[in-house]
Each structure stands twice: as C-alpha cells, then as structure tokens.
Amino acid sequence: MSNTLFAHQPDLSNIVISRTDNGQVILQVNSSLTAFQQEVNFVHGEGFYKSPEEFRNLVIEHFNSHFSMIINNKDTIQFKNPKVFLGHETKLVTEIIGLPETINTIQLKNTLFKDIYHSQSIVIFLLEQFPTQKFSLGIDNKYQINIALKDGVWDNILEEKTNSNFRYVGYFAILLVILAVFFVLKRRKTVK
C-alpha cells in the first residue's frame, strides 16, 4: 500500500537506510516519478532532457547537490554508484561509504523535493544498532534532522535547539517590554 501512495503523491517520499545481506549500507530514496520530474524541470526547465538516461543523470546530479549526511559531527558520508530506477514509484539507490563503526549523532538534510508544495519525507534507519524510529522532514524543520543516540533512543537535537532558541527570544521580548514600560513611566515623571 505504501508503494501505491508514494507512486501517486509527489509531495510524499521516504528515505530508508539499511544493510544488505553482504554487508553494504544502502540509502534508498522513494518517491513518485512526478516528484523527480517536477524537481528536475524546476531546476533545469521543461524539456531539458531528451532520454531516460539523461533524466537519470539529472536526478543523480540533483541528489548529489541536495542531500547530505554527517555522522558524529565530523564525518561527511560519501555515496557510491547511485542508480535511478524509473517507474510509477521511482527509486534512487546508492551505497553509503565511510560509515564509522560507532555512531553517536546523525545530521541529515534532504532538500530533493523542497520545491514541491507541502513536500514531506519520512526517514527510517533499518540498521541493527539503531532504534527504528521514523523522522519527518518538511518545511517546519527545514528538511533536516539532527539526532543523537542516547540510552538506545534517538534524541532530536535540532528540535531542542529550536525550542531553547524560542525560549531565549521570549525572555528577550519580555525584557524589552519591561524596559519600554520603565522608560515611559520615567518620562511621564520628568514631564510632570
């Protein structure tokens, strides 16, 4: 059923990171062919490609410039041999290389479909050492997650930073209101 949903809804996609039987770590991006076409056309213009192979190359180029993953705040992950499988549901599959043995944090940014109205992407890690939580990427979190593994559970660092920043903005706004009231009252006293 999920394949049918992704095949017909250009605003939905998913990213699955898993390990194959032979030990390769694979990243797979699934969405509708329409979503990939809309993004390629948005970037390059309608009719820019003439063949399915040219389109595949443009999708890979778009992926390379709009997808990134950093592990442990220092290791930028490389992608090897990306392939695009065209169909109603289109898939981009690539091998992840340079994945360290110990993973404490993951920063993942996917702006592949950011130009599609209300686009959302679900990220799922299906690796044996990771908890199987789903994360949603969208305009609200700028199509990125920043998570840390704590006590066997993913902790969303980006969400915590955003919440704490709003708290400081709130404190600053209250301070400004208090200062404004103070100066207005002081000015009234000097005018009388």
If you average pLDDT over residues 154-181, what whole number do you get?
66
Per-residue pLDDT of 57-83, as tens digits, reads: 999 999 999 999 999 999 889 999 999
In the predicted model, is pLDDT for residue 160 greater than 80?
A: no
Q: Which of 106, 84, 78, 103 is nearest to 29 (CA)?
A: 84
Rg of the chain in Å (alpha carbons): 22
Give the separation between CA 11 and CA 8, rounded to whole angstroms: 9
Residue 172 has pLDDT above 70, yes or no: no
Q: Which residues, in sequence order, are CB contacts of 121 under 8 Å at separation 6+?
A: 12, 13, 14, 15, 110, 112, 113, 136, 137, 138, 143
Beta bridge partners of 29: 15, 92
